Amino acid sequence: MTNLLQTLTQMLAYPFMVNALEAGTIVAIVSGLIGWFMVLRRQSFAGHALAVVGFPGAAGATLLGVGAAYGYFTFCLAAALVIALLPRAGGSGRTDESAVTGTVQALALACGFLFVSLYHGFLNGIDALLFGSFVGISQGQVTALLVVGACVLVTLALIGRPLLFSSVDPEVAAAGNVPVRALSFVFLLLLGAAVAEASQITGTLLVFALLVAPAAIAQTVTSRPSVGLLLSPIIALIVTWGGLTLAYFWPYPIGFFVTSLAFGGYVAARVAAGLVRRRSKSAW
């Protein structure tokens, strides 16, 4: 026990580890909350599209010599704006929308790859952009994550209840004077910001480890919105801290640890839910 404490204190003696834990904490809370709404609204595909668009943004920003964080935020928020403004034919234009998004995704990945190869000094950076990294998170980056994260959370706290209403029951919400369209617009921007934040820890391709998995676990465990909204960021925090600690001790990428923990949690939650359901059925 004292041994474990000692190693943890040792880990926290490194400033880069402290930065990583701070960044991870901010990102986990934001992803857990926004992800809960994303899963409820069945907007995971939009979330994935935003993450992929963030990749050329980050690569381009590195190419230009500004921090990758700027690229993530700019591209993710711009892409969120574009998706939010796409005309939707009576709400049923989803197939068309997914075709457009898929095409743009391929282009985004290709552009990102081009930027990376144009930047010759950027040797293994592509791995970090796609699959995440926790070394080299600066104090400035943590501050940026904190400021954006705080804005996202304040906005979400203000619109939470009407957003929940318009997510599960848009027709009745609209008849009750809830601004359904405006809320879905604002939510996409929040999602863009959350995706940009998560990308900086897990990389473009693994954002779902923090955005989807904790929310999906929370929704498997509880169908109470208020409890789910509490549980989802807590699970994201456990997954992030666990992943960071494991990545500190083993020389494998953080994205792998975070994703494995999230996946393990999800499988465990589904199995447990299945067992509970079977038991309550056999009780009849």
Partner 1 sequence: MSTSQGDPVANTGTPGVTLELEGAAVRLGSRTLWSGVDLTLEAGRFMAVLGPNGVGKTTLIKAVLGLLPFSAGTVRVLGKPPGQENHRIGYLPQRRRFDPGLRIRGIDLVRLGEEGDRWGTPLPGARLFSARSRVREAHVRDVIDLVGASAYASRPIGQVSGGEQQRLLIAQALVRDPALLLLDEPLDGLDLPSQTSVTSLISTICREQRISVLMVAHDVNPLLPYLDSVAYVGEGHIVAGTPEEVITSDTLSRLYGTCIEVVHTADGRLAVLGQPQERASCHGSPYEPVAAIGGS
Spatial distance between the Cα atoms of 256 and 260, rounded to a whole number of angstroms: 6
By CB under 8 A, the residues from 37 to 76 that bind partner 1 are 40
What does the block give as tokens for 111? 């552009």
Tell me the window of 92-100, 143-151, 168-176, 247-255 that interacts with partner 1 (CB under 8 A).
168-176
Spatial distance between the Cα atoms of 31 and 156, rounded to a whole number of angstroms: 12
Q: Contact with partner 1 (CB under 8 A): which of 8, 86, 106, 168?
A: 168
3-state DSSP call for residue 158? helix
Spatial distance between the Cα atoms of 169 and 152, rounded to a whole number of angstroms: 23
Q: How many residues bind partner 1 (CB under 8 A)?
A: 32
Q: Counting contacts by CB under 8 A, is residue 150 touching partner 1?
A: no
Q: Counting contacts by CB under 8 A, is residue 189 touching partner 1?
A: no
- CB nearer to partner 1: pick between 94 and 161: 161
Q: Counting contacts by CB under 8 A, is residue 176 touching partner 1?
A: yes
- CB nearer to partner 1: pick between 118 and 161: 161
**In angstroms, what is the minimal distance from the CB of 22 to partner 1?**
24
What does the block give as tokens for 137? 């998170």
Tell me the window of 22-30, 43-51, 227-235, 246-254 that interacts with partner 1 (CB under 8 A).
227-235
- CB nearer to partner 1: pick between 196 and 216: 216
Q: Counting contacts by CB under 8 A, is residue 88 touching partner 1?
A: no
Sign of torsion over alpha carbons 22, 159, 77, 256: positive
Reference 97, options 159, 42, 179; nearest CA is 42
Contacts of 103 (CB under 8 A, 6+ apart): none
Residue-wise DSSP of 242-271: HHHHHHHHSSS-HHHHHHHHHHHHHHHHHH
- CB nearer to partner 1: pick between 63 and 234: 234
Applying CB under 8 A, which residues contact partner 1?
Answer: 40, 156-162, 164-166, 168-169, 171-178, 219-220, 222-230
